[in-house]
Chains A and B, each alone.
Chain A
């Protein structure tokens, strides 16, 4: 499996073949609490690095997922429509949000590696 990268906004991104898979981190799901609704982007739509690409609603509040990379949405995780709790249960795996065909795969280099992200989390404790 290729290396997972992170944003300082608590999304993760991982290259799988030609596509980049995007989700939220375990820290993010813990902060949100029970997730009850996920609003996914449309397949074929364009997302931009750092811009809102999806919406997550917990019991208490709505939050957004900012896309770690720019590109075109190739696939979304339809399972989350009926099972948003998957994001709480397996944020780094089955709880992925979408796959994007990146406009510039080098954008991944802008993101944090695991060590840098862990340091970020340590600073939040």
Chain B
């Protein structure tokens, strides 16, 4: 048997992770830092109170050029790109013909191309899907040479503005080109932690220098994928592969807000994206299950794929993410429940290692978002 670890790729920051004492694990085909010596809980809380630097270079950065770019992208996603200005960013997803979610992503408009940031585990599949959809007037180009560094937390803007003052005025879900210590960077005001922050695309050759410049600030600590997961769960954000997948529809996942109004059932140009039959139908008659936040009573974490039941033992749902929330200071979970059992306060039941546990449907997010929205 081949050793799967032998095929793992390294990001441009791999040596930095090693020198910082990271615990490196295989993730989506890469050697990635799970955590550094302080550990997941300290890294998580540091992100919520100061700022943390994450290597997210394993994610795919895909550029789409050409006169046909909008047409190609709108044929794959329920988005109206005519409303997206250069410098703006949107959250959206690629759907399949059954109305499931192939991948969720960030899409940004640049002056002469569109940039997608997609999940590491799906990037080759996404690339193939987009390439197949391209006509002669669209070209796709995968950014092999780019690293992606996230600086997340309430101090992120103060820190980045010391290098590049204009970044401070960038609103949430906007992006621009900036120089940081002379290094050309593409910076977006976004992230996946629920905190204010930035994602910085930089060439591989400059990645370590940029990371070291940012880590030199006393407010900044390195943080790994372990706390990135606990931060996004507290923020109520979906992890593709867990909370959304090729079977779940955007309506089931409570992601209708991300579908552009013009592409909805009552919009000016409804549908015309993969799976539109199911997705438009679900806008009129809601699907039988939906994604909710779940708060387990007690201290035991309820982890996926725990089945949920009513008090009388009828299956009522499934946990798709579950862990300990370091800022919540207790177990938190997310999952799908039957719609008639999805009202806030509804109680579901499960067992973990024989221990009966009650989970209550709660509002998402578990921790309020702290984004820098335009006033």
In the complex, B309 has a CB within 8 A of chain A: no
Contact indicator per residue, chain A 50-91, by CB within 8 Å of chain B (1) or not (0): 000001011111100000000000000000000000001000
Shortest Cβ distance from residue A31 to the other chain B in the assembled complex, whole angstroms: 9
Q: Residue B300 contacts which of A33, A34, A37, A58 (CB distance < 8 angstroms)?
A: A37
Q: Are A62 and B39 in contact (CB-based, < 8 A)? A: no
Provide the bound-state CA to CA distance between A55 and B355, in Å.
12
- Chain B interface helix/strand/loop/mixed: mixed
Q: Are B324 and A59 in contact (CB-based, < 8 A)? A: yes
Interface of A with B (CB < 8 Å)? 33-34, 36-37, 39, 55, 57-62, 88
Q: Are B301 and A57 in contact (CB-based, < 8 A)? A: yes
Q: Are A59 and B353 in contact (CB-based, < 8 A)? A: no
In the complex, B260 has a CB within 8 A of chain A: no
Q: Are B40 and A34 in contact (CB-based, < 8 A)? A: yes
In the complex, B367 has a CB within 8 A of chain A: no
Provide the bound-state CA to CA distance between A55 and B301, in Å.
12
In the complex, B350 has a CB within 8 A of chain A: no
Known contacts A57-B324, A59-B40, A33 near B226 by CB under 8 Å: yes
Known contacts A33-B35, A36-B324, A59 near B230 by CB under 8 Å: yes
25 pairs, CB–CB < 8 Å, chain A vs chain B: A33-B23, A33-B34, A33-B35, A33-B39, A33-B226, A34-B39, A34-B41, A34-B42, A36-B41, A36-B324, A39-B300, A39-B355, A55-B353, A57-B301, A57-B324, A58-B40, A59-B40, A59-B230, A59-B326, A60-B34, A60-B40, A60-B226, A62-B301, A62-B303, A88-B39
Q: Are A37 and B35 in contact (CB-based, < 8 A)? A: no
In the complex, B125 has a CB within 8 A of chain A: no
Contact indicator per residue, chain B 209-238, by CB within 8 Å of chain A (1) or not (0): 000000000000000001100100000000
Q: Are A59 and B226 in contact (CB-based, < 8 A)? A: yes
Provide the bound-state CA to CA distance between A29 and B42, in Å.
16
Chain A residue with the shortest CB-CB distance to B353: A55
In the complex, B144 has a CB within 8 A of chain A: no
Residues of the B chain whose Cβ atoms lie less than 8 Å from the Cβ of A36: 41, 299, 301, 324
Chain B residue with the shortest CB-CB distance to A31: B23
Q: Which 7 A-B residue pairings sit nearest by Cβ, starting from the closest?
A: A36-B324, A34-B41, A59-B40, A34-B39, A37-B299, A59-B324, A34-B40
